[in-house]
């Protein structure tokens, strides 16, 4: 199988050209503070060694765009509680397995006997439910706008097939309003956003226009390959230098201004907006997607009367400050000591897309 257009976006000559253009454009101005919102960008930047290439021109801070990292421990506790009910299957994406709740994790509880299955698609959970009518199958619906349509699709499929032993414990979050909270935080001081690529394919690049206008922050939607990121950074610096703040779309080969209409329709049908807690950040109004009343039968919270408590835990773990870009992982006292990928203390170290994990894995000491 030939997977085309990989090398094209990793071309060393072109990359050097963009880096040189960035240097020429920016001169010796103080570094611009940019946030890459999405965890996939964080990993891609670390893997390609982009920080080392642009040292001095930009300060890249990593944002809260790793769904696992912002899932509160109360959610994990609720999932474990559901898993302990008789004849219950917890179906989840693999990343959730090792996230610490308040006292345990799904991985540890699986060792104690709860039935946890790792899936690649929420639709697989519907199949498990169809094949095991005597079991209750609860899918852990964690993610952003990118995964939300497939979760909604699974609910629609279960509804259509009248599969009543399937439900979703929703912890879906949306990005643009969360970015507004960060943009308004004087401690974070964001001068430009590298907007998430996959989220933008769903919601469209226009979704960031209010943010750019309201806060005067340049926004660029960029893909995940090294050249996408470098060119996205170039566009952000250019906006800043020209004194404009608008939305530019570097990822136009996939993301459009208005997004994926079909996916947005499905989201509007199955979900409703709600306030939701972000681990380490707090409750952010209207950034959550709860299951709409028309599909209440598939809402695990309603079906089993589960509460997802949210508390702002105070520990030495500084994931919250990392997620907000206030500190880099190395400034956390636990980083690499009490908190490593083998023994994660905070969620940013658990997920492969977590900022701390990326720093730990790819950081040059």
Partner 1 sequence: MPGEKILLSHGEGGKKSRDLIRKIIAKRFENPILSPLFDSGLLGRLDGEIAFTTDGYVVTPAIFPGGDIGRLAVCGTLNDLSVCGARPVAISCSLILEEGFPVATLETILDSMKAAAKEGNVVVACGDTKVVEKGNADGIFITTSGVGIASDGWRPAPENVRPGDRIVLTGTMGDHQAAVLIARNRLELAAEILSDVAPLSSMLLDVLSVFGGSVRFMRDPTRGGVGVSLNEMAESSRVRIVLDESRLPVAEAVRGICEILGFDPIYLANEGKALLIVDGKSADPIVETLRKTRYGRNATVIGEVTDGSPGVLMKTVIGGLRAVDYPVGDQLPRIC
Strand order in the sheet with 247-249: 58-65, 32-38, 192-195, 219-221, 247-249
Which range in 200-208, 210-218, 241-249, 340-348 contacts partner 1 by CB under 8 A? 340-348
Please tell me whether residue 319 binds partner 1 under the rule CB under 8 A.
Answer: no
Residues 6+ apart with CB under 8 A from 129: 89, 135, 137, 158, 163, 165, 166
Please tell me whether residue 230 binds partner 1 under the rule CB under 8 A.
Answer: yes
Which CB atom, from 288 or from 329, has the smaller least distance to partner 1?
Answer: 329
Name the strand (E) or helix (H) holding 262: helix 261-270
Please tell me whether residue 342 binds partner 1 under the rule CB under 8 A.
Answer: yes
Closest distance to partner 1 from the beta carbon of 71 (Å): 17
Residues 6+ apart with CB under 8 A from 19: 53, 54, 230
**Distance (Å, rounded) from C-alpha 303 to C-alpha 298?**
7
Contact 69, 348 (CB under 8 A): yes
Please tell me whether residue 362 binds partner 1 under the rule CB under 8 A.
Answer: yes
Q: Which of 202, 227, 292, 332 binds partner 1 (CB under 8 A)?
A: 227
Q: Which of 29, 47, 84, 213 binds partner 1 (CB under 8 A)?
A: 47
Which CB atom, from 46 or from 78, has the smaller least distance to partner 1?
Answer: 46
Closest distance to partner 1 from the beta carbon of 76 (Å): 17
Q: Which residue, 292, 280, 285, 295, is CA-closest to 332?
A: 280
Token pair for 208:
């960031």
Planar angle of CA 177, 183, 184, nearest 5 degrees = 95
Q: Which residue, 265, 261, 260, 291, is CA-closest to 276?
A: 291
Which range in 13-21, 204-212, 237-245, 248-256 contacts partner 1 by CB under 8 A? 13-21
Please tell me whether residue 66 binds partner 1 under the rule CB under 8 A.
Answer: no
Please tell me whether residue 23 binds partner 1 under the rule CB under 8 A.
Answer: no
Which range in 137-145, 223-231, 259-267, 331-339 contacts partner 1 by CB under 8 A? 223-231
Q: Which of 22, 35, 46, 60 binds partner 1 (CB under 8 A)?
A: 46
The single residue listed with the structure tokens 């589960």 is 306
Please tell me whether residue 10 binds partner 1 under the rule CB under 8 A.
Answer: yes
Which CB atom, from 39 or from 218, has the smaller least distance to partner 1?
Answer: 39
Residues 6+ apart with CB under 8 A from 126: 137, 154, 157, 158, 161, 163, 166
Which CB atom, from 10 or from 302, has the smaller least distance to partner 1?
Answer: 10
The residues in 101-160 that bind partner 1, with binding defined as CB under 8 A, are 118
User: Which residues make up the interface to partner 1 (CB under 8 A)?
Assistant: 1-3, 6, 10-12, 15-16, 19, 46-53, 94, 98, 118, 226-227, 230, 340-342, 360-365
């Amino acid at each position: 199988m030939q997977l085309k257009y990989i090398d094209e976006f990793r071309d060393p000559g072109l990359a050097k050209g963009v880096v040189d253009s960035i240097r020429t454009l920016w001169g010796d101005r103080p570094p611009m503070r940019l946030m890459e919102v999405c965890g996939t960008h964080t990993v891609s930047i670390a893997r390609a060694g982009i920080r080392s290439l642009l040292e001095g021109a930009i300060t890249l801070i990593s944002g809260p765009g790793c769904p696992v990292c912002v899932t509160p421990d109360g959610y994990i506790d609720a999932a474990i509680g559901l898993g302990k009910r008789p004849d219950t299957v917890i179906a989840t994406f693999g990343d959730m397995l090792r996230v610490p709740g308040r006292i345990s994790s799904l991985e540890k509880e699986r060792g104690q006997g709860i039935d946890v299955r790792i899936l690649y698609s929420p639709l697989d959970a519907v199949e498990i439910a169809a094949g095991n009518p005597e079991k209750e199958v609860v899918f852990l619906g964690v993610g952003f706008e990118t995964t939300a349509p497939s979760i909604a699709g699974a609910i629609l499929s279960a509804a259509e097939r009248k599969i009543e032993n399937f439900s979703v414990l929703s912890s879906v979050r949306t990005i643009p309003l969360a970015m507004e909270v960060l943009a308004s935080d004087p401690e974070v001081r964001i001068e430009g956003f590298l907007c998430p690529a996959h989220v933008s394919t769903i919601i469209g690049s226009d979704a960031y226009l209010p943010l750019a206008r309201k806060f005067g922050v340049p926004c660029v939607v960029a893909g995940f390959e090294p050249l996408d990121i470098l060119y996205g950074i170039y566009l952000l610096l250019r906006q800043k230098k020209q004194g404009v703040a608008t939305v530019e779309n570097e990822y136009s080969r996939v993301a459009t201004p208005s997004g994926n209409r079909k996916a947005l329709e499905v989201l509007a049908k199955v979900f409703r907006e709600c306030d939701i807690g972000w681990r380490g950040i707090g409750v952010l109004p209207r950034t959550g997607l709860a299951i709409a009343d028309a599909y209440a039968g598939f809402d695990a919270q309603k079906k089993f009367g589960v509460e997802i408590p949210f508390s702002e835990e105070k520990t030495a773990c500084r994931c919250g400050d990392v997620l907000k870009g206030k500190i880099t992982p190395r400034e956390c006292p636990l980083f690499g000591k009490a908190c490593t990928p083998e023994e994660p203390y905070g969620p940013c170290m658990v997920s492969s897309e977590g900022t701390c994990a990326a720093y730990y894995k790819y950081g040059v000491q």
